[in-house]
Structure 1
Amino acid sequence: MTRPPFDPVTDRDLRIVSAQLGRPARDVVGIAARCACGAPTVVSTRPRLADGTPFPTFYYLTHPAATAAMSFLEAAQVMVECTELLAADADVREQYARAHAQYLADREQYGTVEEIAGVSAGGMPTRVKCLHALAGHALAAGPGVNPIGDLALERSTWSPDVCRCPDYGIDADEEPA
């Protein structure tokens, strides 16, 4: 089952994502997951950016507290544990391979880019390379789709159910420009 299409992205969403990233948001096609307060947490990005660059990370984690939590887990060697789990558990490997296929199907709804054909994110389907990407996919797809992303979220001190958003300097009820 594929996730897109998403609700239209508002100018307000793009301003928040740009504030989260510290740079202008690029080629966002949807908000794949939101914080409890409604701020973007995961964006979906075109597989080819406007400047022609192939961009395999369709589900991109943008929330500052979520990205910090995933960085903490990576520094704590959780990727090594996940890699060992992937090697040892056939059920996890099978579910991870299905997550990879779903990721590709979701992204391909927004275009096929030959340079990244078969490449999803986070090391799927055979390794664990980036918890940020895997958690972003897990948040977008929902629990039970990406086992490694789910595990990262479970091990994290961050939760999408508890708002820890900084003040982005954008009124909550501000209408899109």
Structure 2
Amino acid sequence: MRPPFDPATDDDIRIVSAQLGRPARDVIGIPARCVCGAPTVVATAPRLSDGTPFPTFYYLTHPAATVAMSDLEATQVMAEFTEILNADEEMQKQYLVAHEQFIADRESIAVVPELDGISAGGMPVRVKCLHALAGHALAAGPGVNPIGDLALARSSWSPEVCQCIDYDAV
């Protein structure tokens, strides 16, 4: 079963390219949007058009969200989140399920043997990249990725408040 997300339109690709400051690559869908409708998370092909395996299926593109995750990472909060994860067996189980769902979502698009068992963000046993974990949490919805949810709750950014620029002017 394919994950539920909108296919990327030409306008989505234009906006994502503006968000990234470079041409968007191999975007296949938009699994999370800002309240204004602009892309927040893209789904990227598991194998890029140049043949490169790409494990980060859900990719956070919203500039304010990426800055917020970078700011959190700069505070060394990933070590704290890893400690929380290591101390909470229920969270470990949820994180493993999130890891498995992430892989299933990606493999519903394409199975890439080089990515077997690999998800993103350090799942299922550590916290490595809040951008990837927040992107997955936004794409999957609350309650799926506990560390992504925790990162979003601790960040200065909210998916409920538009902080977009005027993409029509870009």
Per the normalisation by structure 1, the TM-score is 0.93
- What residue identity is the alignment partner of 1:138? A
- What residue identity is the alignment partner of 2:80? E
1:63 corresponds to: 62
Alignment partners' CA distance in 1, 2:2 and 2:147 = 18
1:33 corresponds to: 32
RMSD (Å) for aligned C-alpha atoms? 1.3
Moved segments of 4+, more than 4 Å = none
Q: CA deviation at 1:3?
A: 6.5
Alignment partners' CA distance in 1, 2:59 and 2:41 = 5
Kept in 1, the 8 Å contact 2:47–2:53? The answer is: yes
1:53 corresponds to: 52
Kept in 2, the 8 Å contact 1:41–1:63? The answer is: yes
**Structure 2 unpaired stretches of 5+:** none
Residues 1:127 and 2:99 aligned together? no
Kept in 2, the 8 Å contact 1:35–1:161? The answer is: yes
Per the normalisation by structure 2, the TM-score is 0.96
Q: CA deviation at 1:67?
A: 0.2
Q: CA deviation at 1:7?
A: 2.0
User: Where in structure 2 are the equivalents of 1:14-163 lying within 5 Å?
Assistant: 14-163=13-162
Deviations 1:21-41 (A, max 9, x none): 111111111101000100000
Kept in 1, the 8 Å contact 2:47–2:54? The answer is: yes
2:168 corresponds to: 169
SS class of match (1:128): coil
Kept in 1, the 8 Å contact 2:26–2:48? The answer is: yes
Q: CA deviation at 1:170?
A: 4.8
Alignment partners' CA distance in 1, 2:162 and 2:122 = 29
2:9 corresponds to: 10
Alignment partners' CA distance in 1, 2:28 and 2:169 = 21
- What residue identity is the alignment partner of 2:120? A
SS class of match (2:73): helix
- What residue identity is the alignment partner of 2:52? T
Alignment partners' CA distance in 1, 2:42 and 2:111 = 18
Percent identity of paired positions between Structure 1 and Structure 2? 74
Kept in 1, the 8 Å contact 2:4–2:31? The answer is: no
Alignment partners' CA distance in 2, 1:139 and 1:74 = 18
Alignment partners' CA distance in 2, 1:119 and 1:106 = 12
Kept in 1, the 8 Å contact 2:27–2:43? The answer is: yes
Alignment partners' CA distance in 2, 1:170 and 1:111 = 35
**Count of residue pairs the alignment pairs up:** 170
